[in-house]
Homo-oligomer: A and B are copies of this chain.
């Protein structure tokens, strides 16, 4: 890595330099820093120092740093910028998608102020982007792209691209459109470089192209880009006209958020938190599942009371085992369904799926039950109790497997995020129903 790596001693050194108001030395020190690392530096400095440093950065660099900042730090640092400064020093130096992101975070009256200080076409482009619904391709796309007309010769393409490239930071694809701006395909850099400059675009461009429309959901965009290994995907409007493009890095962020959300849901956290958050925020994210789990615990206690445990006190010893196994099996089944749904790899019908889970349930149930039969016998437990535990285990595992499969499928059918199922609902329900089955079997056997 050529870019310098940030560590605490560099942060301390820079804080000292800022205290001594040696701003020029700081700028030299961080000259080779990647914007992402400068952003991290600002986040670690105290607010006063961070403001001084951000203010001293050249406009273009400052803009690149600002988009990398944490949303909250960004809000604080931008507080002192007037609408006009924001427009001219920050927004003008950003691609339209990043600009729209930052503007959308501002309070309503400031949005208006900033948009008024921008010149067209930037102002119009951003206002346009702000209109798309959240989580659609339109809301995350950028307007900057390089496009050529199918009827042009390659020589003219090079000339026009030279003009367009001034505005575009990185050129990942050259789009080919017709006279009405409708997307026809792409022109590869390879073709552009290796074909005679007198050849018309239509003879050499690639018509196979995957595009999305402005209202495509971002998760679908992510899925398509991943499936087809795309760096960039073009966005078209309802008439098929090319209106923007989405690059892989925005999609990576979405994928990552999605995976983290599922993971947190599976671990019983109900809010997007990280360990650096406050004790209050962390407690708030944890309590809902704990409370649902406790509600399950209270219902379990009613089940135990209902069957009058004092009649068979020796049954108590295996209650944790029955409840835990039911919960575990349910989560496993639910997680597999959630993953299949996320990967869109669902070729089996619900019936096939349930039949298979019945099979898996039976196999695992028989293994677990025979093992527990042997263990309880070895522990010298009464024969009736061994039978009760084993029969209950089989019923609990099979039931939990089917239930764990059915719940996320049902949630998905009703357009609720199926990952919810790997959290509170399935585990708790299986705990309770597991105990119910256990005692019901006991009623018959013992």
User: Which chain A residues have a beta carbon within 8 Å of chain B's beta carbons?
Assistant: 1-3, 32, 34, 36, 44, 158, 161-162, 165-166, 168-172, 185, 188-190, 193-194, 207-212, 224, 226-231, 247-249, 252, 255-256, 259-260, 262-264, 266-269, 273-276, 279-280, 282-283, 286-287, 289-291, 293-294, 296-298, 300-302, 304-305, 309-310, 313-314, 316-325, 327-329, 331-332, 334-337, 339-340, 343, 345-348, 353, 356, 359-360, 363-364, 367-368, 371-372, 375, 379, 397, 422, 427-428, 431, 435
CA distance A270 to B435 in the complex (A): 26
Q: Are B371 and A294 in contact (CB under 8 A)?
A: yes
List, in ascending order, chain B residues with CB within 8 A of A317's CB. 300-302, 304-305, 309
Which residue of B44, B210, B320, B375 contacts A1 across the interface (Cβ within 8 Å)?
B210
CA distance A336 to B193 in the complex (A): 50
Which residue of B316, B332, B340, B372 contacts A319 across the interface (Cβ within 8 Å)?
B316
Q: Are B321 and A320 in contact (CB under 8 A)?
A: no
Q: Are B298 and A194 in contact (CB under 8 A)?
A: no
CA distance A346 to B210 in the complex (A): 39
Q: Are A339 and B286 in contact (CB under 8 A)?
A: no
Q: Are A168 and B193 in contact (CB under 8 A)?
A: no
Known: A259-B263, A291-B371. A297 touches B316 (CB 8 A): no
CA distance A418 to B275 in the complex (A): 15
Which residue of B189, B194, B291, B323 contacts A323 across the interface (Cβ within 8 Å)?
B323
* Nearest CB in chain B to that of A267: its residue: B335
